[in-house]
Amino acid sequence: DSVKDSRRRSRATESSWPGRQGNQYTIRGVGGDEDDGTEIGEGGDEWMHGKTLIKPPDQLDLTEAELKEEFTRILTANNPHAPQNIVRYSFKERSYKPISSVDQLAVHFFLEGNLLHRDSDEARRQKAKQGLPDEKATVVTETEDEKLETPAAGGEEAGDVEEGGGEDGEQKLTNQFNFSERASQTLNNPLRERGCQTEPPPRASFSATANQWEIYDVYLEEMQKQEKNKEKAKAVPKKEDDKGKKKLTLSDDLTKVAKVAKIIERMVNQNTFDDIAQDFRYFEDASDEFREQEGTLLPLWKFQYDQAKRLSVTALCWNQSYKDLFAVGLGSYDFTKQGRGMLVFYSLKNSTYPEYNYPTTSGILCLDIHPDRPYLVAVGFYDGCVAVYNLKEERPEPVYKSSSKSGKHTDPVWQVRWQKDDMDNHQNFFSVSSDGRVVSWTLVKSELVFTDIIKLSLVGAVSEGPEACGTSFDFHKQINYLFLVGTEEGKIHKCSKAYSSQFLETYDAHNMAVDAVKWNQFHPKVFISCSSDWTVKIWDHTIRTPVFIFDLNAAVGDVAWSPYSSTVFAAVTADGKVHVFDLGINKYEAICQQPVVAKKKTKLTHIEFNPVYPIIIVGDDRGYVTSLKLSPNLRSKPKEKKGQELPRGPEVEIAKMEKLLSLLREPENSKA
């Protein structure tokens, strides 16, 4: 019906065109089937020239049966121009492999459209936003206007339109022109794709183990390179400095990772010596429960520096701010073989390599770390010099050092001790030497200023008689001006900073040189001394005779009070043994006597208690430092009764020592 409607409308339009009367043409189907012809008026020849069918001369004449014969062709999705020999490199099999799957998709044309279906929700929203009227209303108005404009249309057409309108409910618009569509497709040029893939770069596996020696060697090489670069930079004229060229400094490569490398080194060492770390933290000797008055020492880490071989440990000192860090002075007590020395700092976190090391031209005999400024270290040397090292400055030389012009000692310096800052807030320390001088050294700007405090003599008056050799000294913990000096003749002098011409008291302490003298950290009247005459003596400074005398059957190298009890002290002897005493438990003999060296001829030289942890460190004449953990009996505290809290603090420790002293004073008073 729609075909008939179109033909009727075309006739109506043709009849209305002027000059279309006369000749009529009929176009018939090619296959022989006759259809209703399309009538065209005059002037149609010109319009039909483009559609004239021309028969090629070489066209075959086919019969009716051949024309109606069907030929079946199968369309496939394969791209005829797709390459079939693509080869890729397989990293798995390490060879070139052909690819079986090839992309067959060929895109001829692609265009992104922006059309919307008029009945969609998006189209309605846009119409409502732009304020466009409904499309149905516009269609109706257009059809009404069309009816008014074409009243001469045939009755058939009008009837058809009405029928169509009755069916669809609206009148459809027709095309007013003859429209012809032609399409042609050009040949597709064959595609050619070339690809090139290089061979992968050669690979090799490398593995190595880095030990401390290799790290140290690399570090030295880097330091030498940096020193050479510094020398080159100095040799270059100053014009280059004006141009803004930067000199190479030490903070180039290694120092950027120094902190990280140190942390990793500590982690590796803690994993390597994990059993020792566990013992340090958690182990408690269970056998102490069955021994009431005896204890043991558990060996922990052993510290030794390869470059300090054949040197003796001549000084030990814990850092009061960093509880795991301690300093070791290395030198020699054999005065016929004096040479170099070394200042070394170790941490409990890394026992295999020191944190800091400073080589010295003369052997070190004593050292002391500043209690408030943990980076300042005072050192006394065999040649009579005193020096101050600053750990913050990365240089091997001390920041302060005495000289012959600045009043240095003429004999070995046996002891140094930091004091509180003076009135001008200058740091100062004291030193004692074999030349008989006790000297105060003050750090002023870039030099050491000395002041002679007292000069020791063999006679009671300081200014008279031959000089005495000072070997040790210690300052009172509460009374700032009071201090003790031990001499090579075996005497101990009680002195005052205010009186430089006279001793306050002199004690006939030992038969040989006094190796160490130390005030008790709790009781203000008690001090201890030791000597190579095999004895350790405890004194009340108000009494000229010793309160306790202990014979250890060997030369005593050093003695130290414990920081947690007023009645506990420890001593080391030349036979390689550590003796720990607790006067509150046993007033006559040691509660622990234990050898801690591997070789029999090794002599122990120094001992120090850690200020916080229950461990001690001992040094020997072979350069080794051994850390030992005290068993529970060696640091026992009074048992608490149920419902009662025992008093704690320094007052309790003072009372313990005072009780012991009162027991010794009572027999004397009864005799009197």
pLDDT in tens, 82-124: 888 889 899 999 899 998 888 888 888 888 888 888 888 888 8
**Residue 222, pLDDT above cutoff 90:** yes
Can you tell me the mean pLDDT for 184-191? 82
* pLDDT on residue 264: 84
Q: Which residue has better confidence, 359 or 283? A: 359
**Residue 639, pLDDT above cutoff 70:** no
**Residue 4, pLDDT above cutoff 60:** no
The percent helix, strand, coil of the chain (3-state, each to 5) is: 25, 25, 50
CA 129 to chain centre: 62
Angstrom distance (rounded) from CA 10 to CA 6:
6
SS (H, E, C) 327-375: EEEEECCCCCCCCCEEEEEEECCECCCCCEEEEECCCEEEEEECCCCCC
Angstrom distance (rounded) from CA 538 to CA 657:
11
Q: Which of the four pLDDT bands, split at 50, 70 and 90, describes residue 21? A: very low
First to last CA, the chain: 154
Written as one letter, the residue type at 375 is: Y
Can you tell me the mean pLDDT for 447-457? 83
Angstrom distance (rounded) from CA 366 to CA 329:
7
Structure tokens at 337: 């073989």
Give the predicted TM-score (pTM) of the model.
0.59
* pLDDT on residue 607: 92
Q: Which of the four pLDDT bands, split at 50, 70 and 90, describes residue 177? A: low
Can you tell me the mean pLDDT for 56-83? 85
User: Of the ranges 53-67, 127-141, 266-280, 508-522, which one carries the lowest mean pLDDT score?
Assistant: 127-141
Q: Which of the four pLDDT bands, split at 50, 70 and 90, describes residue 223? A: very high
Can you tell me the mean pLDDT for 460-486? 78
Residue keyed to tokens 């180039």:
252
**Residue 502, pLDDT above cutoff 70:** yes
Can you tell me the mean pLDDT for 498-524? 84
Query: Per-residue pLDDT tens for 285-300?
Result: 777 777 777 888 888 9
Angstrom distance (rounded) from CA 489 to CA 507:
11
Query: Per-residue pLDDT tens for 303-352?
Result: 888 888 888 899 999 988 888 899 999 988 887 777 888 999 998 888 88
Q: Which of the four pLDDT bands, split at 50, 70 and 90, describes residue 18? A: very low
CA 439 to chain centre: 45
Angstrom distance (rounded) from CA 7 to CA 3:
6
* pLDDT on residue 16: 43
Percent of the chain with pLDDT over 70: 78
* pLDDT on residue 252: 55
Percent of the chain with pLDDT over 90: 9
**Residue 48, pLDDT above cutoff 60:** no
The alpha carbon dihedral of 25, 29, 30, 32 has a sign of negative
User: What does the chain come to in residues?
Assistant: 672
- Catalogue all structural domains in the chain, each as residue range(s) with its CATH number: 291-637 (2.130.10.10)
Which conformational region is residue 553 in: left (phi greater than 0), alpha (psi within -120 to 50 degrees), or beta? left
Angstrom distance (rounded) from CA 147 to CA 158:
9
Can you tell me the mean pLDDT for 648-666? 76
* pLDDT on residue 19: 43
Residue keyed to tokens 């269970």:
286
**Residue 10, pLDDT above cutoff 90:** no
User: Of the ranges 83-87, 235-239, 360-364, which one carries the lowest mean pLDDT score?
Assistant: 235-239
Are 363 and 338 in contact by the 8 Å Cβ rule? The answer is: yes
**Which of 20-34, 88-102, 127-141, 180-194 has the highest mean predicted lDDT (pLDDT)?**
88-102
Q: Which of the four pLDDT bands, split at 50, 70 and 90, describes residue 155? A: very low
CA 180 to chain centre: 81
**Residue 36, pLDDT above cutoff 80:** no
Give the E-state strand segments of 497-591 in sequence order.
505-508, 514-519, 526-531, 535-540, 546-551, 556-561, 568-573, 577-582
Angstrom distance (rounded) from CA 643 to CA 640:
8
* pLDDT on residue 23: 43
**Residue 163, pLDDT above cutoff 70:** no
Phi, psi of 240 (to 5 degrees): -65, -30
Q: Is 555 helix (H, G, I), strand (E, B) or coil?
A: coil
* pLDDT on residue 37: 45
- Mean pLDDT, the chain, whole residue set: 78
Lay out the sheet containing 386-390: strands in order across. 364-369, 376-381, 386-390, 400-401
DSSP H/E element including 45: helix 44-48
**Residue 160, pLDDT above cutoff 70:** no
User: Of the ranges 234-238, 338-342, 425-429, 549-553, which one carries the lowest mean pLDDT score?
Assistant: 234-238
* pLDDT on residue 378: 92
**Residue 492, pLDDT above cutoff 60:** yes
**Residue 559, pLDDT above cutoff 90:** yes
**Residue 162, pLDDT above cutoff 60:** no
Give the E-state strand segments of 541-630 in sequence order.
546-551, 556-561, 568-573, 577-582, 592-595, 604-609, 615-620, 625-630
Q: Which of the four pLDDT bands, split at 50, 70 and 90, describes residue 554? A: confident
